C-alpha cells in the first residue's frame, strides 16, 4: 500500500495509539478544578488529547498518545508521575496501548 493511503487510513507508521485511563478520587467535591488541572498539567503538557466522562469521584478517559514515533511510553510515564503525586486521587488504572482507529480497548472497572 502506498504511503499516502497508509496515512489516510491510519495504518502502519501512521497508526494512532491510545490507552484507557480510569481514576478514582477520594472526594466528590472540586471535580471541575481537578479536571482542569488534569487536562492542563497531565494531558496537554505532554502533547496528548483525551476524551471521556466523569463526575464526582470517578473519571474515565481515553488518552490519545500519537504515533509510535512520538514516544507514547514516555507520555504515559509522565501522566503516571503526575497522577502519583496528586493528594485527592485514591487510585488509578491504565490499560495496555491499543490502536485508536482499529483496536479494541480494555474494560477497566472503578475498583482501584
With a cut of 70, say whether residue 112 has pLDDT above it: no
Q: b vs e for 18-42, b when ≥16 Cβ sit within 10 Å of the residue's Cβ?
A: bbbbbbbbeeeeebeebeeebeeeb
> According to the model, what pLDDT value does residue 41 have?
95
Class of domain 10-99: alpha beta
Residue pLDDT, tens place only, 52-68:
998 878 899 999 998 87
Q: Say what percent of the chain tops pLDDT 90.
A: 54
Instruction: Give this prediction's pTM.
Output: 0.85
Domain segments of the chain as ranges: 10-99
- The secondary element (H helix, E strand) that includes residue 66 is strand 58-66
Amino acid at each position: 500500500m502506498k504511503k499516502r493511503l497508509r496515512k489516510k487510513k491510519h495504518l502502519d507508521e501512521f497508526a494512532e495509539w491510545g490507552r484507557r485511563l480510569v481514576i478514582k478520587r477520594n472526594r466528590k467535591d472540586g471535580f471541575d478544578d481537578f479536571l482542569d488541572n488534569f487536562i492542563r498539567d497531565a494531558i496537554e503538557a505532554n502533547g496528548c488529547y483525551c476524551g471521556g466522562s466523569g463526575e464526582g469521584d470517578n473519571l474515565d478517559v481515553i488518552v490519545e498518545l500519537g504515533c509510535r514515533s512520538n514516544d507514547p511510553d514516555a507520555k504515559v510515564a509522565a501522566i503516571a508521575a503526575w497522577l502519583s503525586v496528586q493528594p485527592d486521587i485514591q487510585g488509578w488504572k491504565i490499560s495496555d496501548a491499543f490502536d485508536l482507529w482499529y483496536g479494541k480497548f480494555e474494560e477497566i472497572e472503578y475498583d482501584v
